[in-house]
Chain A
C-alpha cells in the first residue's frame, strides 16, 4: 500500500519531455568541446586528404562513428578493396554489439525514435545513458543525448573542414573525453549492485589493452560478457 503510494508519487514527479530534452543536452555539454575538437580534426583530415568540405558533415551524418571515419577516408585514399573496408568497419565497431545488453533503448517510444537511438549509439551516448534509473534517464532524454552528441560531432567536422588548420587543432580539449569516461566509470562503480563487474572489467580492460591494443574495446567487453554470463549461469545452477 505504502509502496504503491510511493510509486505513484514518483510517476507524478517524472520529468516533462521539455525537461528531459534540456537535461539530455546538458548531459553532453561538459565534453562538447572534446567532441567538437575531435570532429574538427576529422574535418581537417578530410580536406587535407583532398576531398571537398561537405564530405565531413556527410560522414558525421551517415556513418557517425568517430575513429572509423578517419580510417574510412584513409582507406578510400589508399585504394583499399571494398572487402577491406567492410572488414575494417566490422572490426572497429563490433564492440557496439555488446552495448545493446545494457543500453536503455527499451525506454525510447516510437519506431522512428527507436531507429534513430540505435543508429546514433556511440561510446559517448552509451556511456552517458547506461546504468541510470528510468526516472532519471527516460527515453526522451536518451534521444536528446544521442542527437546532441551527433550535433556536436557534425558541427566539429564543419568547423575543421571550413576553418582549416586554425581550428582543426585545439590542444588539450581531447582530455575531456578521458575525464568523462573516468568519472562516468567511477560513478557507475559507486551505484553498481556489487563489485564483481567493475573488478572483472578492470582485469579484462587491462589485459586487453596490453595484449590486443588494436582491438582492446571489442576483446575486453566480449570477455566481460562471457565471464559475467558464465558466472551467472554457474551461480543459478548452484542455488
Chain B
C-alpha cells in the first residue's frame, strides 16, 4: 500500500539536499571568483566536464553486439558527420535521433 506521507518526506529530503548541492558551491566560490585558479577552472572545465558527460552517455554502447550497438553507431555517425559538415548542433541532434528511432523501430529484430 503506497504511503503518501512517506513519499512526501522522501520528496522533501531529496529536494532540500539537491537544492543545497546546487546553491552552496556557488556561495562557496563567490569570494574566490577573481582568484586566478577559479578563473582558470571556469575557462578550462567546460570542455573537460562535457567530455566526461559524453563518455557517461556512451558507456552502454555494446560494440560486440551489432543489434544493440549498431543503431547507436549509425546515429552517432550521422550526428558527428552533420555537425562537422553543417556546423549546426540542432540539425545534428534532430537528424541523428530521427535516424536512430527509424532504425530501432523499423529494422526487424531490433525492436525490444
- Structural contact, A76 and B7, CB atoms closer than 8 A: yes
B66 CB within 8 Å of chain A: no
Chain B residues in the interface with A (C-beta under 8 A): 1-4, 6-7, 9-15, 17-19, 21-26, 28-29, 33, 36-38, 40-59, 71-72, 75-76, 79-80, 83, 89-90, 92-94, 96-97, 100-101, 103-105, 111-112
- Structural contact, B37 and A30, CB atoms closer than 8 A: no
Q: What is the chain A residue whose CB lies nearest that of B5?
A: A76
CA distance A20 to B29 in the complex (A): 27
Q: Which of B42, B45, B72 has the most CB of A within 10 A?
A: B45
Q: How many residues of A contact B (CB 8 A)?
A: 95
- Structural contact, A202 and B55, CB atoms closer than 8 A: yes
Q: Which of A178, A180, A197 contacts B45 (CB 8 A)?
A: A197
- Structural contact, A131 and B46, CB atoms closer than 8 A: yes
CB-defined contacts of B29 to chain A, threshold 8 Å: 100-101
- Structural contact, A171 and B52, CB atoms closer than 8 A: no
Shortest Cβ gap from A237 to chain B (Å)? 12
CB-defined contacts of A1 to chain B, threshold 8 Å: none
- Structural contact, A34 and B14, CB atoms closer than 8 A: no
- Structural contact, B21 and A101, CB atoms closer than 8 A: no
User: Could you mark each residue 175-192 of chain A with 1 if its beta carbon is under 8 Å from any beta carbon of chain B, else 0?
Assistant: 111111111111111011
User: Are A200 and B48 also in contact (CB < 8 A) when A26-B90, A65-B14 are?
Assistant: yes
Q: What is the chain A residue whose CB lies nearest that of B100?
A: A175
User: Are A89 and B75 also in contact (CB < 8 A) when A101-B45, A202-B55 are?
Assistant: no
- Ranked 5 nearest A-B pairs via Cβ: A131-B46, A201-B48, A201-B51, A172-B101, A205-B55
- Structural contact, B100 and A184, CB atoms closer than 8 A: no
**A-B CB contact pairs (8 Å), 10 listed:** A34-B97, A85-B13, A89-B18, A100-B25, A119-B23, A130-B49, A172-B101, A200-B48, A201-B50, A228-B48
A21 CB within 8 Å of chain B: no
Q: Which of B2, B41, B42, B72 contacts A175 (CB 8 A)?
A: B72
- Structural contact, B75 and A175, CB atoms closer than 8 A: yes
- Structural contact, A181 and B50, CB atoms closer than 8 A: yes
- Structural contact, A225 and B79, CB atoms closer than 8 A: no
Chain A residues in the interface with B (C-beta under 8 A): 26, 29-31, 33-34, 49-52, 55, 58-59, 62-65, 68-69, 72-73, 75-77, 79, 82, 85-86, 89-90, 93-94, 96-103, 105-106, 115, 118-119, 121, 123, 126-127, 130-131, 171-173, 175-189, 191-193, 196-198, 200-202, 204-206, 208-209, 213, 216-217, 220-221, 224-225, 228-229, 232-233, 236
- Structural contact, B14 and A171, CB atoms closer than 8 A: no
- Structural contact, A179 and B97, CB atoms closer than 8 A: yes
CB-defined contacts of A204 to chain B, threshold 8 Å: 48, 52
- Structural contact, B93 and A30, CB atoms closer than 8 A: yes
Shortest Cβ gap from B102 to chain A (Å)? 8
- Structural contact, B7 and A201, CB atoms closer than 8 A: no
Q: What is the chain A residue whose CB lies nearest that of B82?
A: A183
- Structural contact, B17 and A89, CB atoms closer than 8 A: yes
User: Are A175 and B97 also in contact (CB < 8 A) when A76-B10, A89-B18, A94-B21 are?
Assistant: yes
- Structural contact, B52 and A201, CB atoms closer than 8 A: yes
Shortest Cβ gap from A141 to chain B (Å)? 15
CB-defined contacts of B56 to chain A, threshold 8 Å: 181, 205, 209, 216-217, 220
